[in-house]
Structure 1
Amino acid sequence: MRHLKDFQFIEAVARAGSIRKAAEDLHITASALNRRIQRFEEDFGTRIFERLPRGMRLNPAGELVIQHFRSQQSDLRRVQSLVADLGGERRGHVSIACSQALAPYFLPGQIARYRAEHPGVTFSVQIRDRAAAEEDLRSFHSDLALVLEPAHLADVETLAVLTQPVHAVMRADNPLARQAEIRLRACLDQPHVVPGRSYAVRRMLEAALAPTSRQLSPILEADSFDFMRHYVEFADALAFQIPVGLRLPPGLTSRPLARRDIAPGRLILGQLRGRSLPVAPARFAQQLMQALDHLAK
């Protein structure tokens, strides 16, 4: 357990970038924290930090050490969950990195459903773009990721996939609303708002337009899908979103973009490859897999 405490100190220094700032965050003296780090390096047999003129940062050995500690911490949580389950306590914690589209409706409903049966389980939800969600898995900051079109997938074990077409969100009186599906070029002929370049929906739109002579000409860019949807309520414009995140107010509607213009995206539920999840995250993952399978039907 002493080494787990060392990990907390090491991680705090790595996060803060200096002994002084980390000591303030930990509410201990800088000299005590520095001694603790030096003692660990002596026991370990090598330095794990680079001492810089304006602070400290992990060296390659330190990166390996902190990854090992995070793995140990995850394993300990898994054992604690198993022990709690033996006593019928059903406790634990689930940490999820998710795309913004899952935050308004799908994920709150799933968490509420799970906690109704397991009230001792707590949750934390981090809204992440596709690259940041994968990094959260690698750093053990999240047990699960539920994201649209992950960037790499090299370190991610895919648990479930849900196909998601891109929808155009518009006013109900927009002439395009009379069509079952709409062409991408028709959307570009109208004022449109788009998410930033780090978001999968933006990447999908740009990839679809790459072979053509057309391009996005947004009147507005935003990093909030809620903001863009609300903007359409006030202005005659189109926004783009995946259907799992849509629950539109009166006056707004959505239509899927034609698949011959833009291929559907993949909403992926995943965990870090090779990691054994604690009981609560593993069971919640099973519930999510069933929910995604139901939506696919």
Structure 2
Amino acid sequence: MQYARHLRLIDMIARTGSIRRAADRLGIASSALNRRVQEFEREMGARLFERRPRGVRLTAAGEIVIAHIRSTLSDLEQAKSMVDSLQGVRRGTIRIAAIEALANGFLPEAIAEFLSDHQQIEFKTTIMGREDVVRAVIEFDADIGVVFNPGRDPMFKHVLEIEQALFALMSNRHPLARREQVRLADCAEYPLALPDRSLGGRLLLEEFLASKALMLRPSLEANSFELMREYVRRSEAICFQIGIGTLSAASAGCRAVPVADRGLPKRKLVVGTLRDRVLPVASAMFLEAICARLAGTARNSQALAKA
């Protein structure tokens, strides 16, 4: 559709903040893309982009138009998905934005299982911080967002909420690995790897420590659980992770032990979509599948935490 193509051109410029970078990604000349933008602006009767020395920025009119463009492109995708469904063809692209805790184990397994039954589906998955997950869903960059303890945003609809406990992750050889539960004071006697504030486990720790006379001084602070997991696997260090992120601990040579401090807060892992948006058929199917899988995982995690 030529109209849809024009809308995607404008959307790409808004996302890259540069006509030249957008043209490079689209494989067209920047002068040709600039002419199309100018034609579109004349049709709209307003400038959509403020030209700056190092790129472009949306004007107030541009902000209004880009919201309409993204909604329109989403509606077109939904219509195409429905037509495919009528024809018995399960095609489409599912776009997921998720926190890193799901990257090891849960999300790859969920995607692999789904694709085994729907081989014509494609996934585009982005791992990002919790605030970015919500933003990606609201700005139509993702159909589904999975995030820990998100801030309240009226446009982000909570489809499923799963309470998450905190676990201490350590090497199988660690002196505390044989325990059924540990306390933070026990862990503080060993080197610690703490997630930075973009990751969920750090939020739980800080809420609890704010009311206690206990200091946790990390030997490593990182925004990557993969890095922290490798560090603890190779040493006597301990890191902390919410339940969903511990599913592949055993295969990585680690043990996840529930943290049993009284008063330790629990927060929720949330699966969300854009409010009032009708998802494409493939995305709606995966949303149902991932919610069912998460509910089952949560029951297993809660049983482990209470063991």
Q: Normalising by structure 2, report the TM-score.
A: 0.90
- How far residue 251 of structure 1 moved from its aligned partner, in angstroms, is 5.3
CA distance in 2, matches of 1:209, 1:274: 39
Query: The residue matched to 2:237 in structure 1 has which SS?
Result: coil
Percent identity for Structure 1 against Structure 2: 40
Query: The residue matched to 1:176 in structure 2 has which SS?
Result: coil
Q: Look up the match of 1:257.
A: 259
| Residues 63-83 of structure 1, C-alpha deviations (whole Å, 9 max, x = no match) | 121111111111111111111
| Residues 123-177 of structure 1, C-alpha deviations (whole Å, 9 max, x = no match) | 1111011100001101111000112112334321111122221110123343433
- How far residue 17 of structure 1 moved from its aligned partner, in angstroms, is 2.8
Alignment of 1:22-101 (within 5 A): 22-101=22-101
- 2:240 corresponds to 1:220: no
Give the 3 Å change call, closer, same or farther, for CA 104–5 of structure 1 in structure 2: same
More off after superposition, 9-18 vs 87-96: 9-18
Give the 3 Å change call, closer, same or farther, for CA 250–198 of structure 1 in structure 2: closer
Of 266, 284, 287, which aligns to 1:285? 287
CA distance in 2, matches of 1:91, 1:250: 35
CA distance in 1, matches of 2:236, 2:77: 51
- How far residue 15 of structure 1 moved from its aligned partner, in angstroms, is 3.0
CA distance in 2, matches of 1:228, 1:79: 44
CA distance in 2, matches of 1:138, 1:236: 42
- How far residue 185 of structure 1 moved from its aligned partner, in angstroms, is 2.3
Q: Look up the match of 2:274.
A: 272
The two structures, once aligned, show a CA RMSD in angstroms of 1.8
Question: How many residues are matched?
Answer: 297
CA distance in 2, matches of 1:19, 1:250: 45
- How far residue 95 of structure 1 moved from its aligned partner, in angstroms, is 0.6
Q: Does structure 2 conserve the Cα–Cα contact (< 8 Å) formed by 1:161 and 1:292?
A: no
CA distance in 1, matches of 2:158, 2:51: 39
Query: The residue matched to 1:268 in structure 2 has which SS?
Result: strand
Give the 3 Å change call, closer, same or farther, for CA 268–76 of structure 1 in structure 2: same
CA distance in 2, matches of 1:30, 1:113: 42
Counterpart code for 2:77: R
Q: Look up the match of 1:119.
A: 119
CA distance in 1, matches of 2:176, 2:263: 16
Query: The residue matched to 1:177 in structure 2 has which SS?
Result: coil
Give the 3 Å change call, closer, same or farther, for CA 167–49 of structure 1 in structure 2: same
Return 5+ residue gaps in structure 1 as ranges. Answer: none
Q: Does structure 2 conserve the Cα–Cα contact (< 8 Å) formed by 1:166 and 1:265?
A: no
Q: Does structure 2 conserve the Cα–Cα contact (< 8 Å) formed by 1:183 and 1:261?
A: no
Give the 3 Å change call, closer, same or farther, for CA 145–53 of structure 1 in structure 2: same
